[in-house]
Every structure is written in C-alpha cells, then in structure tokens.
Amino acid sequence: MRNLMSNKKGLSSVVSVVLIIMLTASAISLIGLLLKDMISNSSFSPQVDCLEYKTQEVLKIVSVCYSQENREINLAIQRKSGYDLSGLSLGYVHDGKSRRWNCDPMTCGGCKLPEEGTIRNYFLGGIESYSSESEIRVYSENCQIDSEIIRPC
C-alpha cells in the first residue's frame, strides 16, 4: 500500500483513465438521449396514419366516369369530418402509365380540398386514352386512400 501512495505518477494516470472513461460514457448517454428525443419528435413522425385514413374512408370516391365527348374524367370525392388534411393528389393509371394531379393551395389555385363532410366534383381534362381497366386513385400526404376503376359516363 505504501508503494502505491509513494508512486503518485502511476496513481494519477489511473485516475485520468477512469475520468476519461466516465466522461466518454456520459457524453454517449447524453447524445443518445438527445437523438431519442429528436427521433420521437413529431416533425420526424408521419403526420398521418395511412391505414387509419384508408379504413376510416377519410376521402372516398363517390363516383367516377370518363366522358368520351369531353375527353375528361368526372370525379366526385367525399371528405369525412374530423380529419385534418393538408393536400390531395389524384392519380390516373392507364396501361401501366400514370399521371398525377396535386391539389393544394400552393400548387393549384382553382383546385380545393372538399370541405369537411361535403362532396366536391373534379374534372380532369386532357385524357386522350381510356380503357375499361383505367383507374383513378386518391392520395393525401402520400397515402393512397381510395381507388376505383373508371367507367364510361
């Protein structure tokens, strides 16, 4: 025991190593806690639960048909009350190819989301080709909520 106390240089290096290990462990724990808080923060979490939106039929296609005369899709979408939506996208799928329209205040001045509890009609023009397998899809916040095969009007 006397030899340990007389060799102060050896004792100080052991204390230094223990202190460095304790500081490193504390720093790792602190970084881990910060990362856990950041990841669980709502800004990194999805704003919607796609499964809930789909099963609750937050947006539902009421009717859809293709007008050969006008070469456009006539679409009616109903919005359920109690769900906050930031945007709407409509997708047209025909022969493996797709076309998408975004409907939100930032990208489309005349296109609006249906008000809560109401039905809104949309007319999607410029559709040159159509078949009995053509499909319309409704998306909100990158979640496909509903889809229907398009029938002739």
Sequence length of the chain is 153
Written as six digits, the tokens of 79 are: 């919005």
Q: Closest Cα to residue 131, out of 82, 97, 85? A: 97
Reduce the DSSP state of residue 113 to 3 states and report it.
coil
Alpha-carbon distances of 98 from 69, 92, 95, 101, 127, rounded to whole Å: 22, 5, 8, 10, 11
Mean pLDDT along residues 27-45 = 75
For residue 4, what pLDDT is reported?
Answer: 52
Reduce the DSSP state of residue 151 to 3 states and report it.
strand
Dmax (CA) of the chain: 104
pLDDT of residue 6 exceeding 70, the answer is no
Mean pLDDT along residues 9-30 = 85
Select the more confidently predicted residue: 68 or 87.
68
**Residue 1 binned pLDDT confidence (cut-offs 50, 70, 90):** very low
Mean pLDDT along residues 9-31 = 85
Select the more confidently predicted residue: 11 or 94.
94
Q: Which residues contact 120 (CB under 8 A, 6 or more apart)?
A: 76, 77, 79, 112, 113, 114
Alpha-carbon distances of 94 from 2, 28, 89, 136, rounded to whole Å: 89, 53, 17, 9
Q: Percentage of the chain with pLDDT > 90?
A: 22
pLDDT in tens, 70-125: 888 999 999 887 777 777 888 889 888 888 888 765 555 457 778 888 898 988 88
Report pTM: 0.62
